[in-house]
A and B are shown apart, each in its own frame.
Chain A
């Protein structure tokens, strides 16, 4: 699936550029993107280190397991393959909470921690497990209660009511979340892609 999308993005880009007679933009765009990908990762190092450090304290103090067993009943149906008291559950909950609060830079490290924990439970090292797919479905469609960035931009450009879009965002993300969870469930239960994992 991803192989095809990746190939399509790349080849359609090059073909369109050739048609428009501006093939030179391709090399520039490709090289710039390669450089900026590394820059993004370097920027991530500090943020990741900070949050994973805080998270390790939380883990040793039992906060993560506590969160997991407190909220696990809600998530158990979505993650039947993850033991309810597993640290993976705690990390998933932290990631989703950070997403809801619009704390993007905390959400990413928590999410990666969750992926590591899920990978520990995965029995195929290079293929996504069902639990990972469900987690990604929740993560990419997660309800945002506080879209902090967009409120900031609206404020900056002199909106009379910067937060008036919050209700609409919650409605639209809820729709997206319902669809993502249902589609994920269908794949997990009914498809050859889902398998037993």
Chain B
């Protein structure tokens, strides 16, 4: 039942917005096509403005990952996580999640394939993937799009949210699925 509702909402949300906004604009006497083009123009400049920010961030993250430094970090915090009740196999995902969206999605998919989505590992990977955002990507892209170079305390806040989300995922999976 829940599944039907959720999949219906996510299937209809975008078509609904694309239907209702132009239609409403038309009734409000907005020249809809002209307004669309005017707005769309901004898309190009905004996307281009992000490039230097994203290159800087992705290069650092990619070197960190490929060199094995990330694995070193994982093995460093492994004992803590195991003590908290997380299976060791989901740890790389937990570290990857705030750094790289595609990397985390790849790891989550891999865990699901190897252990099955209904195993403890599969469920915890699902919750972790669905819980926190790729904080570094989001900060880079959003601040980059308006040329902000100093993020102030936003990094600390974002990472605290990630750690909280991670710990909460481990806790709730142990409560619900054990």
Write the residues of chain A forming the contact surface with B, with a CB cutoff of 8 angstroms.
1-2, 5-6, 9-10, 12-17, 20, 22, 25-26, 28-30, 32-34, 36-38, 40-42, 44-63, 101-103, 106, 108-109, 111-112, 115-116, 118-119, 125-128, 132-133, 136-137, 139-142, 144, 146-151, 153-154, 157-169, 171-173, 175-177, 179-180, 183-184, 187, 191, 193-194
B36 touches A48 (CB 8 A): no
In Å, the complex CA distance between A149 and B12 comes to: 15
**Residue among B17, B37, B65, B153 facing the most chain A CB atoms (10 A cut-off):** B153
Partner of B35, one of A51, A57, A119, A169: A57
Chain A CB within 8 A of B83 CB: no
Q: 19 extra interchain contacts, Cβ-Cβ under 8 A, other than A32-B62, A146-B6?
A: A29-B62, A29-B67, A30-B59, A40-B58, A48-B44, A49-B41, A50-B40, A101-B13, A115-B142, A128-B143, A140-B162, A141-B158, A149-B105, A159-B117, A160-B118, A169-B127, A171-B168, A172-B165, A176-B131
| B135 closest partner in A (C-beta) | A140
User: Which residues of B have CB within 8 Å of A165?
Assistant: 123, 126-127, 130
> Given the interface contacts A126-B148, A179-B164, A187-B153, does A10 sit within 8 Å of B132 by beta carbon?
no
Among all A-B residue pairs, the 4 with the closest Cβ atoms? A56-B39, A49-B43, A147-B130, A33-B62
A141 touches B132 (CB 8 A): yes
A157 touches B48 (CB 8 A): no
Q: Is the interface of B mostly helix, strand, loop or mixed?
A: helix
A49 touches B40 (CB 8 A): yes
B162 touches A108 (CB 8 A): no
| A-contacting residues, B1-52, CB 8 Å | 2-3, 6-7, 9-10, 13-14, 17-18, 21-22, 24-25, 28, 30, 32, 35-44, 46-48, 50-51
